[in-house]
Amino acid sequence: MKNKTIKDTLLNPSIGFDITIKGWVRTFRSNRFIALNDGSTIKNIQCVIDLNQWDEKLLKRITTGACISVSGKLTESLGAGQSVELMVTELEILGDSNPEEFPIQPKKHSLEFLRENAHLRFRTNTFSAVFRVRHAVSFAIHKYFNDRGYFYLHAPIITGSDAEGAGEMFRVTTLNDIKPPLNDQGHVNYKEDFFGKETNLTVSGQLEAELAAMALSKVYTFGPTFRAENSNTSRHLAEFWMIEPEVAFNDLVANMDLAEDFLKYVIKHVMDNCADDLEFLENRIIDEEKNIKAELKQPFPLREKLKHVLDNSFERVSYTDAITILRNSKPNKKKKFDYLIDEWGVDLQSEHERYLVEKHFGKPVILYDYPADIKAFYMRQNDDNKTVAAMDILFPGIGEIVGGSQREERYDVLVSKMKAFNIPEDEMWWYLDTRKFGTCIHAGFGLGFERLVLFITGMTNVRDVIPFPRTPKNAEF
């Protein structure tokens, strides 16, 4: 008999043929009906057994969580809820599951409980849907860039530079943590460390991507990045994934065009290929929000929200104009913002970003031309000497989802900016070299992968869209 996935079986049912299906038991009712799922789809297949044909001891082993193999004839179903069912003639228990110990029983579990059982939460409808969507988003990202002539670059995870200048990095060392070697000044002597210098886990692959773009023209990185930021919130992770395209000859406008086109492509791919999972996740949100106040509910059903992004061009607004809008807004005038806007030059908070997207414009927004003082050293200085050619994309419910800029390609300007940011030239000599040998304008952006998955799935905590979240005081599994 041919072994088939449940997804293939339901999409292309071979009525009247014998097949074999392997998976995990979701429920077993009336000693007759097994709801079986193999992870290939949100849908279960109903497997029907004749009680009188099977030993009672075997039937008792068909419990929630047990892994089984069933074979038999696929028939049209007479019952409601499924189009086909499997009439079982052979059944084998591949792996038992003690119902007294298996924590993921067929009842409602809190997301917090499931985070504590992250090794088993894939067995639930919610998380199997989330991680199938996560896969689809990842595949779409690679397909988008590959089909447009980009080259995938593997940036190093261990680095000696801080791309963001924030200093919130995890240290990598092989030195003795109790008695490390010291230099003449009494400081840790990193010359004796594995790499002969101080190294950390990367916060971004951008700087390395810039180097490659100066020869390959169009590149992108997609890999893990790390922040030692002690932020225990629903939006932050210590380990997360970033997508960072870098394109030679692109200016800020081309960078914005690329980011908008890219985001719409990925969302459309998921809508076209994950219809069942999105429908389930949408209904889950509707059910969760039944008993909360109307103003706290999400403004659109999930799929309508995603379609809204596809159907609308992103509003492009300068930072200066955004400050004017926010300063004159009702929440600001009535002191409803936690951080009041009273002057040009302040860094926008999530509440300001969401106001612009959700209340003022009602669609995604691209903010550009930020004050130089609140942005990174590598962003291109504008002619006004006050702002840089930076851009952020803001999404409803999320706030900032993309951050990017045109890079500073002028050697002398970059050197002066590094001095202003106290970044030693001798540590970044290789970065400066690209401005000495055949420099050109170029631009790129960074997209937090988990924040995009968060938006597409409608989940509200970033810990629920990554398989094993790494957060302060938590490195389980």
Token pair for residue 357?
A: 């997207």
Token pair for residue 213?
A: 């773009």
Q: What are phi and psi of 457, to 5 degrees?
A: -85, -20
Q: Which band of pLDDT confidence, cut at 50, 70 and 90, is reported for residue 165?
A: low
Q: Mean pLDDT, to the nearest integer, of 424-437?
A: 93
Where is average pLDDT lowest: 232-236, 270-274, 468-472? 232-236
pLDDT of residue 427: 86
Specify whether the CB–CB gap between 414 and 176 falls below 8 A: no
Domain 2-102 has CATH 2.60.40.1930: no
Query: How far, in Å, CA of 421 to CA of 182, rounded?
Result: 28
Query: What are 243-269's pLDDT values in tens digits?
Result: 999 999 999 999 999 999 999 999 999
Question: Within 13 Å of residue 470, how many CA atoms lie on the same side as its CB?
Answer: 12
Length of the chain: 477
Q: Mean pLDDT, to the nearest integer, of 460-465?
A: 96
240 three-state secondary structure: strand
Query: How far, in Å, CA of 221 to CA of 180, rounded?
Result: 35
* Complete DSSP assignment for 244-275: EEEEET--HHHHHHHHHHHHHHHHHHHHHH-H
Query: How far, in Å, CA of 285 to CA of 77, rounded?
Result: 30
pLDDT of residue 457: 98
Query: What are 285-339's pLDDT values in tens digits?
Result: 999 998 888 877 888 899 999 999 999 999 999 999 999 999 999 999 999 999 9
Average pLDDT, the chain: 94
Query: How far, in Å, CA of 242 to CA of 51, rounded?
Result: 52
pLDDT of residue 231: 84
Token pair for residue 55?
A: 């030993």
* Complete DSSP assignment for 138-200: HHHHHHHHHHTT-EE----SEESS-SSS-----EE--S-SSS--B-TTSSB-GGGSTTSS-EE
pLDDT of residue 141: 98
Q: Which of 342, 455, 351, 339 is nearest to 395 (CA)?
A: 455
Q: What are phi and psi of 2, to 5 degrees?
A: -80, 130
pLDDT of residue 367: 98
Q: Which of 152, 139, 143, 147 is nearest to 216 (CA)?
A: 152
pLDDT over threshold 80, residue 344:
yes
pLDDT of residue 404: 98
Shared fold status for 2-102 and 123-168+203-464: no
Which residues, 6 or more positions from 31, have their beta carbon under 8 angstroms from its beta carbon?
49, 51, 59
pLDDT over threshold 70, residue 440:
yes
By percentage, how much of the chain surpasses pLDDT 90? 88
Q: Which band of pLDDT confidence, cut at 50, 70 and 90, is reported for residue 143?
A: very high
Query: What are 96-123's pLDDT values in tens digits?
Result: 999 999 999 999 999 999 999 999 999 9
pLDDT of residue 163: 63
pLDDT of residue 167: 60
pLDDT of residue 370: 98
CATH code of 123-168+203-464, in short, is: 3.30.930.10
Q: Which of 88, 22, 94 is nearest to 49 (CA)?
A: 88
Q: Which band of pLDDT confidence, cut at 50, 70 and 90, is reported for residue 166?
A: low
pLDDT of residue 153: 98
Domain spans in the chain, listed from the N-terminal domain onward: 2-102, 123-168+203-464
pLDDT of residue 291: 85
Q: What are phi and psi of 291, to 5 degrees?
A: -110, 25
Q: What are phi and psi of 163, to 5 degrees?
A: -65, -30
